[in-house]
């Protein structure tokens, strides 16, 4: 029997974690987009050193688990930089940002490469400089191609924010865990509500992703 009282009480409790969840998501997302473009473009560079160095970053973060990266950075950052970052917020943002930045860099790289060769040749035939080819022809098309995957990864980052509860950040899941550990019999209601909460946050992102798929279908030439 679902106790209506319990329901009304739990939700506001969980909502206290909303600020952390959303702020970590937004910050990590922005950071990861930046990393994605930086790393993606670096991997296309003609400079071997830049290419290889970036590949190392990408392979390490793609080849290991986010939760491991999170814990590792939690202990490593104070040691490496000799500072306590003040809160674990930055650790969470950096871990998620670096992890998904690595995955998305492959999307950036892949979509630039898959803009059809004929587009580059047409741009050359019109005597555009390499920079102009990128800016006017390749990039606009690659960007459209990236949108669905980028929205997909953003939803994954939302899910990933739940991990910061493991390093003591007071997000939605954290508050859920508190209620559960105070009263184990509440566990079903609590975790179902937590899931619903995350799903509500995901809904706008899911719709954005469907939109992104539509946009990417027109306006792109790939063979």
Binding site for another protein (CB under 8 A): 1, 59-60, 62-69, 71-72, 75-76, 78-79, 116, 118-119, 121-122, 124-130, 132, 136-137, 140-141, 144, 155, 158-163, 165-166, 173, 176-177, 180, 184-188, 190-192, 194-195, 198-199, 202, 205-206, 218-221, 223
Other residues' Cβ atoms within 10 Å of the Cβ of residue 185: 9
Judge contact between 163 and 198, C-beta under 8 A: no
Between 34 and 177, name the residue whose CB sits nearer to another protein.
Answer: 177
Q: How far is the CB of 79 from another protein (least distance, A)?
A: 5
Between 150 and 198, name the residue whose CB sits nearer to another protein.
Answer: 198
Torsion 175-179-184-188 (CA) sign: negative
The answer for residues whose C-beta is within 8 angstroms of residue 178's C-beta and 6 or more apart is 13
Between 38 and 122, name the residue whose CB sits nearer to another protein.
Answer: 122
Between 34 and 214, name the residue whose CB sits nearer to another protein.
Answer: 214
Q: Of 91, 114, 94, which Cα lies nearest the Cα of 102?
A: 94
Name the 3-class secondary structure at 152.
Answer: helix
* 176/171 Cα distance (integer angstroms): 9
Between 38 and 155, name the residue whose CB sits nearer to another protein.
Answer: 155
Q: How far is the CB of 49 from another protein (least distance, A)?
A: 21
């Amino acid at each position: 029997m679902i106790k209506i009282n319990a329901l009304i009480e739990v939700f506001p409790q969980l909502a206290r974690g909303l600020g952390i969840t959303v702020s970590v998501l937004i910050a990590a997302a922005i950071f990861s987009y930046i990393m994605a473009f930086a790393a993606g473009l670096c991997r296309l560079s003609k400079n071997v050193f830049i290419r290889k160095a970036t590949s190392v970053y990408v392979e390490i973060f793609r080849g290991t688990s986010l939760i491991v990266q999170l814990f590792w950075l939690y202990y490593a950052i104070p040691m490496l930089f000799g500072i306590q970052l003040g809160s674990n917020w930055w650790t969470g943002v950096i871990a998620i940002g670096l992890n998904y930045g690595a995955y998305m860099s492959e999307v950036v790289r892949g979509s630039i490469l898959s803009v059809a060769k004929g587009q580059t040749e047409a741009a050359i035939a019109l005597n555009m400089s390499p920079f102009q080819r990128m800016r006017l022809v390749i990039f606009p098309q690659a960007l459209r191609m990236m949108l669905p995957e980028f929205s997909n990864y953003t939803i994954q980052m939302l899910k990933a924010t739940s991990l910061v509860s493991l390093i003591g950040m007071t997000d939605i899941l954290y508050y859920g865990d508190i209620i559960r550990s105070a009263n184990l019999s509440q566990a079903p209601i609590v975790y179902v509500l937590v899931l619903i909460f995350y799903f509500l946050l995901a809904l706008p992102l899911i719709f954005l992703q469907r939109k992104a798929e539509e946009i990417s279908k027109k306006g792109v030439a790939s063979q």
